[in-house]
Chain A
Amino acid sequence: MNWIDIGALEDIPLRGARRIKTALGCVAVFRTGADEIFAASDSCPHRGGPLSEGIVHGQSVTCPLHNWVFDLNTGQAQGEDGRLDIFPVRIERGRVLIEGARLTARSAA
């Protein structure tokens, strides 16, 4: 595993998200109301809406463009045929770490 420190938990708004740039495009890192952390691709499979700008509720996010709702555990869209890529992410001593193997691989090769 290649865990990369991407910033402090406090840098992500509660019930909100921040983007990170990666070799696979932008990834959204979400912080829920209960301080859980999730990461998923920032682009909605429907029309490419930026999910990091969506409303975070429970363990879900709603796309800001057309209100598709995604479960952040699985990336699955509720009642729609679409799924987000999700990435392993964890919190350690107030820092947010993301598993970077896939996210840096392409440009490292």
Chain B
Amino acid sequence: MKRKLVIIGAGMASGRVIEHLVETAPDAYDITLFNAEPRGNYNRIMLSPVLSGEQTYADIVTHDDDWYAAQGITCRFGEHVVRIDRAEKLVIGQNGPVPYDKLIVATGSAPFIIPVQGKDLPGVITYRDLDDTNAMIEAAGNGGKAVVIGGGLLGLEAAAGLAQRGMEVTVLHLMGHLMERQLDPAAGYLLRRDLEKRGIAIRTQASTAAILGDTRVEGVLLEDKTMLEADLVVMAVGIRPETRLANDAGLEVGRGIVVDAQMRTTGDPDIHAVGECTEYDGHLFGLVAPLYEQARVLARALLGEAEDFVVRDVATKLKVTGCNLFSAGDFAEAPGREDIVFRDPARGIYKRLVIEGTRLVGAVMYGDTADGNWFFQLIKDATPIDEMRETLIFGPSFQGGSSADPLSAVAALPRDAEICGCNGICKGTIIDAIEAGARDLGTLRARTKASASCGTCTGLVEQLLQVSLGEDFQAPAAQPVCGCCDLTHDDLRRLIKSRALKSQEAVWQELGWRTRNGCHVCRPAVNFYLLADWPQEYRDDPQSRFVNERRHANIQKDGTFSVVPRMWGGITNPAELRAIADAADKYNVPTVKVTGGQRIDLLGVKGEDLPHIWADLNKAGLVSGHAYSKGLRTVKTCVGTDHCRFGTQDSTGLGIRLEQILWGSWTPHKVKLGVSGCPRNCAEATCKDVGIICVDSGYQVGVAGAAGMDVKETERLADATTEQEAIELTVAFVQLYRENARYLDRPYKWVARVGLEWVRARVVDDMEERARLIAAFELSQSIYRKDPWAEQAKEAQRFQPLADLTLEAAE
């Protein structure tokens, strides 16, 4: 006799159970299927193409009415189940009870609704089933603005679909990058960039405070008080297992309905659960692969064949046309794990493999996911990969050859493989040019344009030269910034400007960095280039500064610091001197020294005393002298016309004015100025980065002097007739240096490279450019012309130890 099987919920998991049952043992059970939705099983994961209009509901139906009829299944669709009566073994539906011998709870999941004001307003919808999808399609028909709360898989698919239907879409995401559970920050960045290209606005670290509106939704208010207009709000922050029926029936429920390896609920061998509503061994399930596996195990259990459900790694793909991403396994960084990273920013490709020992344990791919399943198989099978490690990231097509050399991988590329994405140059074109006599990178670039635009394929092009020419190929002499990238400082600066890269993450991703966040060589340089080129969009990052600039004091060899307050133009007064003397007493400063830059150095201050000594000096009006920075140090002056019988101009006053304009600015390396009141040059201005000599007729502005490892006299930039003109020439020169020099090149090195004529053409001859440089400098200074000591002193606790365990032990 057939036994009675009742199933609550016609989702993909229970649908698969039914398929297994009717295929293997059609006579075992009489099946009754309840579904709250007024329809049967459809392919829920394809709702996104329905939303975007690429498919229709008819395309994604798995089981239609005819199918259910043919299998003899009693369908009670559109009917809610009220409760489960375990004592009588009945399922009570709205339209009456049904007895069961075996019961499957497949209630799936419910969208998580964030508990904010306005969550119940008309126009706020979740994204879970066909009704939600249809509601969104209808709303999108009126155009307008949509806000999607949640930047995970579901939220992004909703956003892409709505955008495709013509809505103006903003995605709010609580975390720092999109899909943080499936993607690392690098892939999250590329995804964001692609979505933004489609006109979808993304806000990360955005926390929703309230949903606004009277009779229907009108907007979303964020915690940071930003107001976004919205005609439609989609809540897609996550799902939770739907467990109410199971709970009411007294079954064990944790986060989901707790099941054993045969999908049996705890304590009632006749009730099983399957799908997103279940919890097994602490795991919840949201992706389809493990759910199908559950369905198979459950169907066998119902037929008396024991098999154990095993939790396996799953892979994720996003179903947004044009955004290819793939993630599988575990890609968190951990001790003993190593990364292999491949980036091709021009084509938007990023691949990261995570290796533990001799095994691949995780993979994240963006842009080109063709090899995803192959990597996924290696993860699942725990295949030893040490033999193919060097070419692993190139995928299966490069395995099994005799040599595991990256060069041979390039050699193995077909002739029509695209090498230079910017200019669409294939390998064949490059090889032909090499054979026709282009034997170095420069010639090859000139003839084929390969690597002539963004330059990120330079490495590949060089490898092709090496493959073709062998020993004859000489690698170019230009040195990259460091081992993290292939770019020279000049290329890096050019690309940050031309491609409008405004964050460190943008530089790492777009320019193909091999390390996660640079190193002590490149990161300070990148930090400077960004702040110099994008003063409003990018802020100086102290964690990318050397200790002296982060601490605003010079570290000494014993770990103490030196403190040098600014003395404008070398002028001081008794009150300042008293404050310095008092501070030296109070903080037991062992050494007080007069510096070459006409100020006073307090040496040997303890790190934890710094904020306090600064606060004391601030009270007397003294500010940081930036004696530690790649920025303006001092303006050395003589006493000029005030006191000296030879003085021709007010050199002290000019020096003070220059110092007040320039102080606080960051530059590629330190900048020191001198202003002498007459050609006797008591301020030693002719060996400074900018040195001004006052003469009867005006001011001789010299630049690019040196008095360090190299000694060099300044070169005359121009003669100015007024003090104002001397100031403008100086500011324009400093700004041109800020915009163009390599990090850690003093002005004399930079001028030697670009030539004084090049500088003069911009700073002296081209009045428009001079004005632009001055305005750009002033814009930057509106942010940086301030005393860092005053700001740091407010955060005194940061200078103290985080904890003192020696006290802990004494207690």
Contact = CB atoms under 8 A, between A and B. Distances in A.
Interface in B794-808: 798, 801-806, 808
A109 to B, nearest CB: 9
Interface string B685-712: 0000000000000000000000000000
Nearest to B804: A21
Given A14-B543, A48-B559, A22 B520 contact: no
Contacts of A29: 802
Nearest to B551: A53
Contacts of B542: 13, 16
Interface string A71-109: 001000000000000000000000010101001111110
A34 B188 CA distance: 13
Looking at chain A, what size class is its interface with the partner chain? 35 or more
Contact of A53 (B516, B555, B803, B806): B555
Nearest to A72: B335
B515 A18 contact: no
A26 B809 contact: no
A64 to B, nearest CB: 4
A60 B806 CA distance: 27
B415 to A, nearest CB: 38
Contact of B809 (A19, A96, A107): A107
A58 B555 CA distance: 24
Nearest to B546: A64
Of A19, A26, A50, A108, which is in contact with the most chain B CB atoms at under 10 Å from its CB? Answer: A19
Looking at chain B, what size class is its interface with the partner chain? 35 or more
Nearest to B516: A58
A18 to B, nearest CB: 4
B802 A59 contact: no
Contacts of A23: 805-806, 809
A73 to B, nearest CB: 5
Contacts of B523: 55, 57
Interface in B763-800: 798
Contact of A20 (B336, B802, B810): B802
A49 to B, nearest CB: 7
A104 to B, nearest CB: 4
B801 A19 contact: yes
Nearest to B545: A55
A41 interface: no
A44 B741 CA distance: 33
Contacts of A62: 519-520
B336 A104 contact: no
Contacts, number: 110
Contacts of B557: 47, 65
Describe A's contact surface by its main secondary structure. Answer: mixed
B539 interface: no
A3 B543 CA distance: 28
Contacts of A22: 805-806
Interface string A38-55: 000000000111100111
A33 to B, nearest CB: 5
Given A14-B543, A64-B547, A65-B555, A57 B805 contact: no
Contacts of A6: 802-803, 805
A103 B516 CA distance: 32
A104 B515 contact: no
Contacts of B546: 55, 64
A32 to B, nearest CB: 8
Given A36-B333, A47-B557, A64-B546, A21 B524 contact: no
A91 B185 CA distance: 20
Contacts of A65: 555, 557
B16 to A, nearest CB: 38
Interface in B516-573: 516-520, 523-524, 542-547, 550-551, 555, 557-559
A33 B185 CA distance: 10
A11 B802 CA distance: 8
A98 B802 CA distance: 12
A57 B550 contact: no
Given A34-B333, A49-B559, A57 B801 contact: no
Contacts of A21: 801, 803-806
Nearest to A22: B805
Contacts of B809: 23, 104-108
Given A50-B559, A55-B524, A58-B516, A26 B801 contact: yes
Contact of B543 (A13, A34, A73, A107): A13
B805 A100 contact: yes
A71 to B, nearest CB: 10
Contact of A18 (B517, B520, B545, B802): B802
B520 A7 contact: no
Nearest to A42: B559
Nearest to A36: B333
Nearest to A29: B802
A19 B551 CA distance: 14
A58 B615 CA distance: 35
Of A20, A29, A49, A98, which is in contact with the most chain B CB atoms at under 10 Å from its CB? Answer: A20
A15 B517 contact: yes
A49 B557 CA distance: 7
Nearest to B339: A58
Contacts of B333: 34, 36, 59
Given A4-B808, A49-B559, A62-B519, A55 B802 contact: no
A64 B607 CA distance: 14
Contact of B516 (A4, A20, A34, A64): A34
Contacts of A57: 515-520, 523
A53 B799 CA distance: 11
B808 to A, nearest CB: 6
A107 B805 CA distance: 10
A60 B798 CA distance: 22
A100 to B, nearest CB: 6
A7 B519 CA distance: 27
Nearest to B548: A64
Contacts of B808: 4, 100, 104
B543 A58 contact: no
A25 to B, nearest CB: 10
A64 B524 CA distance: 13
Contacts of B802: 6-7, 11-12, 18-20, 29, 96
B555 A4 contact: no
A65 B547 CA distance: 9
Contacts of B544: 15, 55
A107 B44 CA distance: 63
A74 B808 CA distance: 27
12 contacts: A21-B803, A33-B516, A48-B558, A55-B523, A55-B524, A55-B544, A55-B545, A55-B546, A58-B519, A64-B546, A104-B809, A107-B809
Given A23-B805, A67-B520, 9 more contacts: A4-B805, A6-B805, A18-B801, A29-B802, A33-B516, A33-B517, A47-B557, A54-B520, A55-B524
Interface of B: 185, 333, 335-336, 515-520, 523-524, 542-547, 550-551, 555, 557-559, 607, 798, 801-806, 808-810
Interface of A: 4, 6-7, 11-16, 18-23, 26, 29, 33-34, 36, 47-50, 53-60, 62, 64-65, 67, 69, 73, 96, 98, 100, 103-108
**4 closest Cβ contacts across the A-B interface?**
A62-B520, A104-B809, A6-B803, A64-B547
